[in-house]
């Protein structure tokens, strides 16, 4: 995951949802009540309307990138990614991102955190057609690396992330567990920045 896991994006999610609902209603002459952004997108996928879907991705990208410079870094997780050997993670272990954010947002956030080079694979909102908690994104990661499900660990900040892992048959944890581990180990040993 990205937002709430590696960084905290500064996005007006309410305004984005309202914009998408309005656009959806104008285009399709029907209501799209959303609890989450993906709900409108799922309806567009059902209509097999790829052009409108791409347009909606553009709207989402705009809102996400509007204040990208105000992104707050989650230092513990960035430290973990930069120093995985300090935590006993094998050198050949790979990092991937599965996020509901757009690829451009993910890339720019990783560049702000100075960890873009540490992430081998990015699966953003545009790369799947069934979004979390559907397992499609995690399965893409598994297939890309040609590894077994038990060789993957997924971290996120929401119960929805845990459900995504469960739906994919992959171990998933809340990011606070990893933050606590990082803080505990950092307080015990010296580390490099």
In which band, very low, low, confident or very high, does the pLDDT at 32 lie, cut at 50, 70 and 90?
confident
Confidence check: pLDDT of 145 > 70: yes
Above 90 in pLDDT, residue 187?
Answer: no
What pTM does this model have? 0.94
For residue 121, the model assigns a pLDDT of 99
pLDDT score, position 191:
52
Report CA-CA distances (Å) from 189 to 77, 79, 104, 116, 185: 17, 14, 36, 26, 6
Percent of the chain with pLDDT strictly greater than 90: 90
Q: CA–CA separation, 61 vs 68, rounded Å?
A: 10
User: pLDDT value at position 117?
Assistant: 98
Query: In this prediction, what percent of the chain has a pLDDT beyond 70?
Result: 97
Instruction: Give the contacts of 43 (CB within 8 A, at least 6 positions apart).
Output: 24, 28, 32
Quote the mean pLDDT of the chain: 95
Instruction: State pLDDT tens for residues 61-80.
Output: 999 999 999 999 999 999 99
Is the Cβ–Cβ distance between 101 and 9 less than 8 Å?
yes
Rounded CA separation 63/179 (Å)? 28
- Tell me, what's the pLDDT at 35? 78
Report residue 36's pLDDT band, with 50, 70 and 90 as the boundaries: confident
pLDDT of residue 37: 87
From residue 25, give the alpha-carbon distance in Å to each of 4, 19, 29, 30: 30, 10, 5, 5
Beta strands in 49-181 (DSSP E): 72-73, 95-98, 119-123, 153-156, 171-174
Count of CB atoms situated within 10 Å of the CB of 44: 22
Distances from the Cα of 53 to the Cα of 7, 29, 177, angstroms: 26, 16, 35
pLDDT over 80 (residue 192): no
* Residue 96 pLDDT exceeds 90: yes
Cα separation, 21 vs 141, whole angstroms: 31
Q: How confident is the model at residue 157 (pLDDT cuts 50, 70, 90)?
A: very high
- Please, which pLDDT band fits residue 34 given cuts at 50, 70 and 90? confident
């Amino acid at each position: 995951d990205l937002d709430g896991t590696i960084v905290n994006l500064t996005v007006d999610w309410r305004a984005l949802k309202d914009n998408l609902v309005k656009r959806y209603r104008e285009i399709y002459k029907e209501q799209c009540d959303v609890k989450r952004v993906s709900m409108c997108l799922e309806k567009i996928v059902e209509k097999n309307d790829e052009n409108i879907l791409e347009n909606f991705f553009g709207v989402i990208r705009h809102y996400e990138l509007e204040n990208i410079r105000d992104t707050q870094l989650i230092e513990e997780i960035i430290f973990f990614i930069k120093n995985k050997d300090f935590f006993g993670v094998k050198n050949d272990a790979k990092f991937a991102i599965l996020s509901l954010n757009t690829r451009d947002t993910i890339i720019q956030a990783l560049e702000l955190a100075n960890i873009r080079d540490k992430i081998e694979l990015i699966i953003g909102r545009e790369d799947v057609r069934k979004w979390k908690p559907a397992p499609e994104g995690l399965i893409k990661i598994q297939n890309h690396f040609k590894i077994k499900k038990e060789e993957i660990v997924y971290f996120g900040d929401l119960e929805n992330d845990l459900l995504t892992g469960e739906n994919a048959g992959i171990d998933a944890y809340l990011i606070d567990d990893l933050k606590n581990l990082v803080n505990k180990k950092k307080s015990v040993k010296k580390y490099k920045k």
